[in-house]
Amino acid sequence: MGISTILPRHERCGACNLCVLACSFHHEGAFGRRNSSIEIIKNEREGEVEIVIFDAARDGRRPCDGCADEERPLCVQWCPVGALSVKRN
């Protein structure tokens, strides 16, 4: 984890995956889900979402680095419902 910690509010998340894509763009300059440090797991039946933020590399994913080179983490910038916020460490 870098200088920032991303704080998820699962109950707000609308599962649009824009944070996932923003994160993948931050890491690789390209859009995908498996190269992102975020995974959105949605339970369609119960209307629930879990925002998983990887703080360690796993299955080819890079860990969240808090977008150290950005003014604000891209996932926070892009989330349309305020489900992600940042805590500076």
Partner 1 sequence: MTQPFAIGGNILRVDLTRRAVTVEPTAPLNLRFPAGMGVNNWLLLNETPLGKAPLDPDNPLIFTAGSLVGTMAATACRMTISCKNVLTGGFGAASAGGNFAPELKYAGFDHIVVTGRAAQPVYIDIDDGNVTICDADGLWGETTWETEKILRARIDRPTLELLSIGPAGESMAAAACIIVSRTRSASRCGVGAVMGSKNLKAIAVSGSGALQVAEPEAFMAESLAMQRYLMGVDTTKNLRNFGTSTSFEAWNKLGSIPVRNYQATQIDLDEADAIATAVKEKHYIEKAFGCFACPVMCSQYQRVKSGPHAGTRGEKVESQDYWDFGGKLGISDPAAVLALSEHCTQLGLDNTNATNPIAWALECYQRGLLTTDDTDGLELAWGDVEVISQLLTKIAYREGIGDLLADGSLAAAERLGRNSERFAMHMKGQDLAEEMRVFKGWALAIAVAERGGTHTQGGPLTERMPLQPELSMQRFGVPTAFDPTSYEHKAELVIYYQRFHNLLEITGICFYATYWCGLQMMGPDEVARLYSLATGDNKTADELMTEGEKILYLQKAFNMRHTTFDRASDYPPERFMNEPATGPHAGERLERPDWDRLLDEYYGQRGWDLASGKPTAENFRAVGLPELA
Positions that interact with partner 1 (CB under 8 A): 14-18, 21-22, 24-25, 28-35, 39, 42, 44-47, 59-60, 77-78, 80-81
User: Cβ closer to partner 1: 71 or 89?
Assistant: 71
Q: Rounded to an integer, what distance in angstroms lies between the CA atom of residue 67 and that of residue 23?
A: 8
Q: How far is the CB of 5 from partner 1 (least distance, A)?
A: 23
The identity of residue 15, as a single letter, is: A
- Give the residue from 35, 24, 26, 32 showing the smallest Cα distance to 61: 35
Task: Please state the closest distance from residue 24 (CB atom) to partner 1, in A.
Answer: 6
As to burial, measured by CB atoms within 10 angstroms (0-12 exposed, 13-18 middle, 19+ buried), residue 24 is buried
> Judged by CB, which is closer to partner 1: 11, or 89?
11
